[in-house]
């Protein structure tokens, strides 16, 4: 039997249930400790989800000798500072995306993790699911021909006005919340496109009443091999859309929900021989992710993403922001909680 991972959770965020609690229950890993700004929320979270103990602060979770890996689902602006704090304590980290408020902070986390010899992972959970892997395999097999274009479209209805995703101080905005996925999808095809995508141009719109916060952004990208790309994100759309379309000179394939295929696992493939729909399974991306994390930490298995990947994505986000006329997100100084 593989020793269970010993996980400490920062905050009582809604995403935690599907991202770490349910997967840990499925894999038999331990939820050792949790802390939240509101102690009552932490107590309720622990009681509902079987967390072993409630601590008084994020710092206490990180310092707990029984915690070996810290899960960080805090507001965007708190990813970088608390990732750095966990690394300083010698802990591994599974961080929700985006990895940091800006590229400089991402590089600081990377350098600290390398120096400390700990593993810090950005939670792009979708890369572990057969949907993305099949999309890549369709390109790799040559069935679609030479890669010509990638289009990612990520939209959702607007969150409430007081949602942290609309806060500049908390490193909010459509590009940080949705667009990081849209850009990351493009980067996952770099090996078939001659290298990483570069920003050609970008346009965006500011959220009314929220200076500096992007409501939507569209980026035009170019790959060294000649393929082009478009990454679109909109955090105030009529409906959800989470698609990735890959076009070659002999056909194309579209993942209908590339990030959450547990909700729609279809890939629609259109080539000279006709159109077909493949189903790749609705098992949770987050469960695949935690299994990959534990295999990496317990058995030394390769992990598809590393801190360099996180830095590359942060740099691409920052380049898109600048091209669209927005400043990168401000950084946050670590508080005691």
- Catalytic pick among 6, 79, 97, 153: 97
Q: Is 1 helix (H, G, I), strand (E, B) or coil?
A: coil
> What is the rounded distance in angstroms from the CA atom of residue 238 to the CA atom of residue 156?
7
> What is the rounded distance in angstroms from the CA atom of residue 205 to the CA atom of residue 106?
25
What per-residue confidence (pLDDT) applies to 36?
A: 97
Active site residue 91: no
Angle 321-323-325 from CA coordinates, rounded to 5°: 70
The pTM is what? 0.96
Q: What size, in residues, is the chain?
A: 337
What per-residue confidence (pLDDT) applies to 273?
A: 85
> What is the rounded distance in angstroms from the CA atom of residue 129 to the CA atom of residue 185?
13
What per-residue confidence (pLDDT) applies to 2?
A: 83
Catalogue all structural domains in the chain, each as residue range(s) with its CATH number. Answer: 6-125+288-304 (3.40.50.720), 127-283 (3.30.360.10)
Tell me the pLDDT tens digit for each residue of 203-212.
999 999 999 9
What per-residue confidence (pLDDT) applies to 96?
A: 97
What per-residue confidence (pLDDT) applies to 335?
A: 59
> What is the rounded distance in angstroms from the CA atom of residue 114 to the CA atom of residue 307?
9
Both structure tokens of 189: 């095809």
Q: Which residues contact 224 (CB under 8 A, 6 or more apart)?
A: 193, 194, 195, 196, 198
Tell me the pLDDT tens digit for each residue of 103-141.
999 999 999 999 999 999 999 999 999 999 999 999 999
Q: Is 181 helix (H, G, I), strand (E, B) or coil?
A: helix
Both structure tokens of 134: 């099949």
Dihedral angle of Cα 14, 17, 20, 26, to the nearest 10 degrees: -170
Whole-number Cα distances in Å, 133 to 26, 137, 178, 218, 257: 23, 6, 20, 25, 13
> What is the rounded distance in angstroms from the CA atom of residue 192 to the CA atom of residue 24?
35
In the chain, which stretches have pLDDT less than 50?
336-337
């Amino acid at each position: 039997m593989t020793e269970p991972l010993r996980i400490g959770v920062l905050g009582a965020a809604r995403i935690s249930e599907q991202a770490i609690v349910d997967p840990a229950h499925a894999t038999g890993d331990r939820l050792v400790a949790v802390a939240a700004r509101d102690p009552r929320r932490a107590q309720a979270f622990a009681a509902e989800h079987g967390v072993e103990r409630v601590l008084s602060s994020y710092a206490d979770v990180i310092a707990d000798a029984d915690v070996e890996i810290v899960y960080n689902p805090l507001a965007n602006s708190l990813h970088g500072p608390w990732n750095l704090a966990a690394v300083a304590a010698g802990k591994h980290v599974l961080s929700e995306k985006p990895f940091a408020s800006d590229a400089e902070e991402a590089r600081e986390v990377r350098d600290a993790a390398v120096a400390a010899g700990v593993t810090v992972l950005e939670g792009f959970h979708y890369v572990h699911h057969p949907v993305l892997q099949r999309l890549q395999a369709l390109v790799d097999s040559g069935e679609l021909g030479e890669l010509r274009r990638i289009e990612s479209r990520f939209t959702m209805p607007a969150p409430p006005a007081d949602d942290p995703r609309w806060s500049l101080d908390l490193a909010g905005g459509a590009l940080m919340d949705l667009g990081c996925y849209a850009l990351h999808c493009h980067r996952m095809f770099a090996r078939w496109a001659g290298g990483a995508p570069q920003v050609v141009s970008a346009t965006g719109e500011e959220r009314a009443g929220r200076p500096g916060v992007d409501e939507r952004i569209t980026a035009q990208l170019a790959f060294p091999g000649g393929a082009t790309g478009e990454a679109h994100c909109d955090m105030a759309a009529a409906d959800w859309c989470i698609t990735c379309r890959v076009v070659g000179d002999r056909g194309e394939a579209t993942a209908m929900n590339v990030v959450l295929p547990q909700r729609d696992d279809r890939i629609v493939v259109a080539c000279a021989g006709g159109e077909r729909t493949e189903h790749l399974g609705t098992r949770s991306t987050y469960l695949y992710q935690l299994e990959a994390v534990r295999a990496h930490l317990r058995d030394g298995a390769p992990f598809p993403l590393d801190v360099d990947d996180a830095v590359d994505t942060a740099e691409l986000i920052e380049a898109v922001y600048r091209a669209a006329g927005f400043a990168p997100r401000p950084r946050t100084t670590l508080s005691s909680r």
